[in-house]
Chains A and B, each alone.
Chain A
Amino acid sequence: MPATNLIVDRIVSALKQFPPFSIFEEATVYELARAAKVQVLTKDDMVWTQGDPPGEEVLFLARGRVEYYRQVNDRNELIDVRDVGDILGLSALHEGEPYRVTALAAEDSILYALPWPMIRELLSTNDQARYYVRRHLFWGTRVGRSIPDAGLDSTGGTSSMLEAHLKGAHTITPRPARRLLCCTPETPIRQAAEMMTKKMVPSILVADDRRRPVGIVTVGDLVKEVIVGGGDSTLPVSRIMSGPVVTVARNSSTTAATLVMLRERISQVCVTEDGTADTEALDVCTQKDLLVQSGRHPAGFIQEIRLAQTPARFREICADIEEMARTYLEAGISGLLLGEICAELYNELVRQLIDISLAEMTDEGTVLLDVPWAWIAVGSDGRREQVLRTDMDNALIFEASSDPEQDEVNRGFFLQVASRVIRMLVDAGFARCQGGVMASNPNWCKTDAEWIAELRDAGTVSDGNRLLRALILYDLRHVSGDPSLSEAVRQTVFQAVGGSAAIQRYMAELIVATPPPLNFRGKFVVEKKGGNEGEFDIKKRGLTPLRDAARLFALHFGLRKHYSTGGRWLELASAQPELMELATLAREGYDMLLRIRTLTGLQRGDDGRFIDPSALTQLQRGQMVNVFDVQRMVQTAIRHKFHLETKIQ
């Protein structure tokens, strides 16, 4: 009996509680434990020093606490804390570079040293564990590395981007046969080209007398053979057509067809009855055609929204969009990107609903007013962060006439339009805005002159409610109608806030008022009162400060290209080099919080505002702690920038 089983058992059971060891098979963990060395460190012992080459062992912290210090300009900065269950030294071994920090035992600690070659071998064969480990390198942000690609994540979902598409993928539905443009091999080139121009299609199918495809002539062929090659346009198309034609069957999936096109490097594919060139041609599909047909692809939703007419159908589409959001998030897409996709879709929805409302009113005999108007999204909608249908924030601008009474009449009309649109939005499953931020509310349906006057009013700062309203309005984004109206109001926002140190200062104070939700040991602070005690308010304590800071910076520096928080950070990074690192980290952090929030919301069927910290994985918790670190950095930057007195926390 060479091995001492009891102790090995104990090491195994300690390891098994934490990833990546929890992912490995039990037998492998036993092997690791048998090869382990147990290190005992007393307080203030050095585990390793910054600049040391990595050894041959990964350390698992079984008891105690280890602190990472980084020496920057003769100063030792506490960068991170490792608790029980954490792995030490992985980044250095993984990257094969010297340690970037000094690790110091903060308490008496017990570490298990595990042979790195064995772990490396295990990681190379176990995908899930490898993904975990890559995410584990996250903390490297604090020593100047970037946050690893979110796409490698395996938080619960195992589906890939492709699977996300395939789940909702449709099969190809050929359009009516009369829409298929085809000609015989004998048709002169010029005539074929005329037919293509007339129908505005990029290709023409060359078929025999039984409509079996024999070749295809594309715009590219015409350019190459006739325009550049100087070929005679009276020759038959059979001289320049490409063949044989690549075909797919009528019931193949759109994704498969797209892959065929990619493989063959062609931009259209012919659909035939049985998928060979020996049967009748039904349709020719371009990439665009396939895109709108592929179920969960955003392009497909746009098409569906344009075709839909009834509230029930809109509701169905919105449910599908949320389903898409879920599969995308599980496949690891960025929360910010998803927000932008969904914003485009919901824009299209609102445009369609406005059209329907106007058409209905015409049908009912209401005379439409000839006053320019603009439908704008404000608040989270304006920032393109509304993935779920848990809120709506919108407003309306219409052009002021010189007569206040006429304005009131106009307002009445637009309120009527807006309430129809809002009603349909509610039917489609959107929740009414709790704060009444809706275009059907007279407070949010104003003339351009009124909006501008409100924004220019210096009294905004003194009144909390009005400031809140102003903050919502600062995020406005044009959705539909006359863009010049919304642009004018947006200009005013930048002028009014950019020129007012008082408003900026007030906004800055709001941002620093929320300290990072970590206690001194790096654990979450959770809600202690109210109905959600024990849970963590990710919106108030995580997202809001980062989002408000982005807005403040954007208004301060006049960065108007982007609407979303992520975009604002990006723009800030390129416009202000000294804030680049901060802005990049803030964007990544915001993105991660947004994803967690949206996923929680989808799981619970609410807005995902409160998350349960104990439900997070060790990894997610670690990441969130990192994000809050970034939040602290942002708040410090705000304090410096806007000259707030430093409070000792």
Chain B
Amino acid sequence: MIRFFKKPADPVLQRYMAATRHKRPKKTPVQEIRFVAIDVETSGLKLGVDRILSIALFEMVDGQIDMTRSRKWMVSQPVTAPTAATAIHGILPCETCTGTPEKEMLAELLPLLAGAIVVGHHILFDAAMLNEAMVRNFKARFLNQVVDTARMAMAEMIPFHRTGYGRQRPPVLEEVCAQLDLPVVARHTAEGDAFTTAEVFLILLGKIRRRLGNRRLNRRPVQLRDLPVENFKPNR
């Protein structure tokens, strides 16, 4: 609020904020949007306590996952003891300490996220984790619009449609893959999950495209409003 007393922001951050702050019109065709699929592996599920251990990113251009523009990072964290999550992703503390420091990772990640819509499975958790890291390191918030493939699957795939049962929960990645007949690669590694998420996203995008293309009237290309785009809001 009192801007005069703030240090000028990091140039990386400035560029990120400039590119990401504006919201796109709802009728933007999806071909004009840059999507990146991400997945983070963390030391646990508690926000504010647990930290990012590794993160992977796949960029999608023109409906293709471009392997030359994919990245992954192991993040070094001052966590020592193995947690319950270690059993899931298998990232040992000794690997953690050889990784990139969190701030460096973010400095490399943010230019890639700038202006993109971030895709992930249960993306709000990943976004919250990233948000925390950004707050910690840059005193800035995560600004990207996000698309959750779990929500997309619920909208586009009949087995996951909303039923009205109170205990229904969004499908996990394995369930979606099983329905789409996709092989699950390297589950519970950042890159494996991010890649699978990217594949799932593209398939679901194809389903939406076909649904809209099949309409007798109002046949039109896929637009931003056809995706369950959310604005990330930290709920604290």
A interface list, Cβ under 8 A from B: 1-8, 10-11, 33-45, 63, 108, 110, 113
Contact of A6 (CB < 8 Å), options: B191, B203, B209: B191
Cα distance A41–B209 in the bound complex, in angstroms: 11
Contact of B191 (CB < 8 Å), options: A7, A42, A43, A110: A7
CB of B47 within 8 A of chain A? no
- Residue contact A40 to B63, C-beta cutoff 8 Å: yes
- Residue contact A39 to B64, C-beta cutoff 8 Å: yes
Residues of B within 8 A of A4 (CB): 56, 58, 67, 70-72, 191, 195
Q: Can you spell out 5 A-B residue pairs with CB atoms less than 8 angstroms apart?
A: A2-B71, A10-B186, A34-B68, A37-B61, A40-B206
- Residue contact B67 to A34, C-beta cutoff 8 Å: yes
Residue picked from B70, B209, B210, most chain A C-beta under 10 Å: B70
- Residue contact B191 to A40, C-beta cutoff 8 Å: no
**Beyond A40-B203, A108-B181, is A7–B63 a contact (Cβ under 8 Å)?**
no
Contact of A37 (CB < 8 Å), options: B66, B180, B191, B206: B66
- Residue contact B210 to A44, C-beta cutoff 8 Å: yes
Cα distance A412–B84 in the bound complex, in angstroms: 97
Decide if the interface of chain A is mainly helix, strand, loop or mixed. mixed
- Residue contact B192 to A6, C-beta cutoff 8 Å: yes
Residues of B within 8 A of A3 (CB): 67, 70
**A-contact bits for B153-189, CB 8 A (1 contact / 0 none):** 0000000000000000000000000001111011001
CB of B15 within 8 A of chain A? no
Contact of B207 (CB < 8 Å), options: A7, A38, A42: A42
Cα distance A37–B202 in the bound complex, in angstroms: 13
Cα distance A36–B64 in the bound complex, in angstroms: 10
Closest to A112 in B: B67
CB of B50 within 8 A of chain A? no
CB of B73 within 8 A of chain A? yes
Residues of B within 8 A of A45 (CB): 206, 209-210
Residues of B within 8 A of A38 (CB): 64-65, 67, 195, 198-199
Residues of B within 8 A of A36 (CB): 67
Cα distance A43–B181 in the bound complex, in angstroms: 13
Residues of A within 8 A of B63 (CB): 39-40
Residues of A within 8 A of B202 (CB): 40
CB of B123 within 8 A of chain A? no
A333 to chain B: closest CB distance in Å?
44
**A-contact bits for B124-138, CB 8 A (1 contact / 0 none):** 000000000000000
Residues of B within 8 A of A5 (CB): 191
- Residue contact A10 to B185, C-beta cutoff 8 Å: yes
CB of B74 within 8 A of chain A? yes
**Beyond A1-B74, A6-B185, A6-B191, is A40–B67 a contact (Cβ under 8 Å)?**
no
Cα distance A415–B74 in the bound complex, in angstroms: 89
Cα distance A323–B214 in the bound complex, in angstroms: 63
Residue picked from A4, A11, A35, A110, most chain B C-beta under 10 Å: A4
A-B pairs with lowest CB-CB distance, top 4: A42-B206, A40-B202, A38-B65, A37-B64
**Beyond A40-B202, A44-B210, A110-B199, is A1–B67 a contact (Cβ under 8 Å)?**
no
Residues of A within 8 A of B206 (CB): 40-42, 45, 108
Cα distance A108–B185 in the bound complex, in angstroms: 17
Cα distance A11–B68 in the bound complex, in angstroms: 13
Closest to A2 in B: B71
- Residue contact A6 to B67, C-beta cutoff 8 Å: no
Cα distance A4–B69 in the bound complex, in angstroms: 10
A526 to chain B: closest CB distance in Å?
27
Cα distance A108–B210 in the bound complex, in angstroms: 12
- Residue contact A7 to B185, C-beta cutoff 8 Å: yes
Q: B residues 188-236 with Cβ under 8 Å of A?
A: 189, 191-192, 195, 198-199, 202-203, 206-207, 209-210
Residues of A within 8 A of B183 (CB): 63
Cα distance A108–B181 in the bound complex, in angstroms: 9
Closest to B209 in A: A42
Add 11 more A-B contacts to A39-B64, A108-B180 (CB < 8 A): A6-B189, A6-B195, A7-B185, A10-B186, A34-B67, A37-B65, A38-B199, A40-B199, A42-B210, A45-B210, A113-B64
**Beyond A38-B65, A44-B210, A113-B64, is A6–B186 a contact (Cβ under 8 Å)?**
yes
Cα distance A11–B195 in the bound complex, in angstroms: 12
**Beyond A1-B72, A6-B191, A42-B206, is A11–B186 a contact (Cβ under 8 Å)?**
no
Cα distance A3–B63 in the bound complex, in angstroms: 20
Cα distance A5–B183 in the bound complex, in angstroms: 17
- Residue contact B74 to A35, C-beta cutoff 8 Å: no
- Residue contact B67 to A33, C-beta cutoff 8 Å: yes
Residues of A within 8 A of B56 (CB): 4
A108 to chain B: closest CB distance in Å?
6
Closest to B192 in A: A6
B204 to chain A: closest CB distance in Å?
9
Residues of A within 8 A of B66 (CB): 37
- Residue contact A7 to B70, C-beta cutoff 8 Å: yes
B95 to chain A: closest CB distance in Å?
12
Q: B residues 41-81 with Cβ under 8 Å of A?
A: 56, 58, 61, 63-68, 70-74
Closest to A35 in B: B68
Closest to A36 in B: B67
Residues of B within 8 A of A108 (CB): 180-181, 203, 206
Residues of B within 8 A of A40 (CB): 63, 65, 199, 202-203, 206
Residues of B within 8 A of A37 (CB): 61, 64-68
Cα distance A42–B63 in the bound complex, in angstroms: 11
- Residue contact A7 to B181, C-beta cutoff 8 Å: no
Cα distance A1–B95 in the bound complex, in angstroms: 14
B133 to chain A: closest CB distance in Å?
18
Closest to B201 in A: A40
Residues of B within 8 A of A39 (CB): 63-65
B107 to chain A: closest CB distance in Å?
15
A33 to chain B: closest CB distance in Å?
7
Cα distance A51–B56 in the bound complex, in angstroms: 39
Residues of B within 8 A of A8 (CB): 67
Closest to B202 in A: A40
Residues of A within 8 A of B70 (CB): 3-4, 7
Residues of B within 8 A of A1 (CB): 71-74
Cα distance A113–B62 in the bound complex, in angstroms: 12
**Beyond A36-B67, A38-B67, A108-B181, is A7–B192 a contact (Cβ under 8 Å)?**
yes
Cα distance A33–B189 in the bound complex, in angstroms: 19
